[in-house]
A = this chain, B = another copy of it.
Amino acid sequence: MLQTATTIQEIRSTVRAWKQQGLTVGLVPTMGYLHAGHESLVKAAVASCDRVVASVFVNPTQFGPNEDLATYPRDFAHDCQVLEKAGCHLVFHPEPSEMYPEGFCTYVENLSAMPQQLCGKTRPIHFRGVCTVVCKLFNIVQPDKAFFGQKDAQQLAIIKRMVKDLSLDIEIVGCPIVRESDGLAKSSRNVYLNQSERQAALVLSQAVRLGQELIAAGEKDCATILAKMCQVIESTPIARIDYVAAVDGQTMLPLETVTPGMLFAMAVYIGKTRLIDNFSVAN
């Protein structure tokens, strides 16, 4: 039975009781409007932790002034159904005022070049907001493990770095991208797409597949691979590339030669909707 909490106090007292019983706790931070990708995170948490907390919070500090904070899709009733079915025990659904009290001014920020790469180029304050809210959620829930999707590969790398740098005693688990049957990566923002955009959005996963095939065939030059991936995307008129990049999997800095563990990542506007996708080269 899924329990709902809107205050930090409620989460703390529930988790404290679990810990006194010696139970382990997993956390799945989300912005809600849950899809099969989130579901897979909850299931991974259920499989390896005694109790699972999910947060559903559209975090204002990670949206820029011209981004889609106001229109970001929300459906908490449906989210609760998904969470309960996946075996989640407790959902944290705070108001922004609970998370950001009056006078709020302390942020967690990665000050390396890492957050300025890839998504950070067009979303300069995004990862500061992500680090800050995730650090807060970690402090509120104090989980043993936390689960994040590999679709947000840059976010996952920045959070792993944060956990190491701030000496947080939490294991970060990255989970594979979940896709529609035609290849489109699951995303809450897919709901923005009309029928022709939905079709056009397939260029992202097609570019991913092409990149993987080129590497499997022995291609070592990142520029060659990126050029061919871009060609696939640009073949569709309503697709506009934000970035397609080949980077180190930890630092997010560009690489010239295909290297184990590295990341190929992209962000593409399909009409007005910005979608991301990526793949990692096997270690």
Interface residues in chain A, defined as those with a beta carbon under 8 Å from any beta carbon in chain B: 8, 12, 99, 101, 103-112, 114, 131-132, 135-136, 139-140, 142, 161-162, 164-169, 250-251
Contacts and interface: CB of A to CB of B under 8 A. Distances in A.
A62 to B, nearest CB: 15
A136 B101 contact: no
User: By CB atoms of chain B within 10 A, which of A12, A101, A136, A139 has the most?
Assistant: A139
A142 B250 CA distance: 28
Contact of A106 (B104, B111, B142): B111
A161 B164 CA distance: 23
B110 A165 contact: no
Contacts of A104: 165
Contacts of A251: 103
B111 A108 contact: no
B167 A8 contact: yes
13 contacts: A12-B169, A101-B165, A103-B250, A105-B114, A105-B161, A106-B111, A106-B162, A107-B111, A132-B166, A135-B166, A136-B165, A136-B166, A140-B167
A114 B101 CA distance: 16
A107 B109 contact: yes
B103 A161 contact: yes
Given A136-B166, A136-B167, A167-B139, A161 B106 contact: yes
Nearest to A137: B167
B106 A110 contact: yes
A124 to B, nearest CB: 14
A236 to B, nearest CB: 37
A164 to B, nearest CB: 6
A166 to B, nearest CB: 6
Contacts of A135: 166
Contacts of A110: 105-106
Nearest to A141: B167
A111 B140 CA distance: 22
Given A108-B108, A109-B109, A139-B167, 17 more contacts: A99-B167, A101-B165, A103-B112, A103-B250, A103-B251, A106-B108, A106-B162, A106-B165, A107-B108, A107-B109, A107-B111, A108-B109, A132-B166, A136-B167, A139-B166, A139-B168, A140-B167
Contacts of A132: 166
A112 B140 CA distance: 23
Contacts of A168: 139
Contacts of A107: 108-109, 111
Contacts of A142: 169
A87 B170 CA distance: 31
A140 B162 CA distance: 14
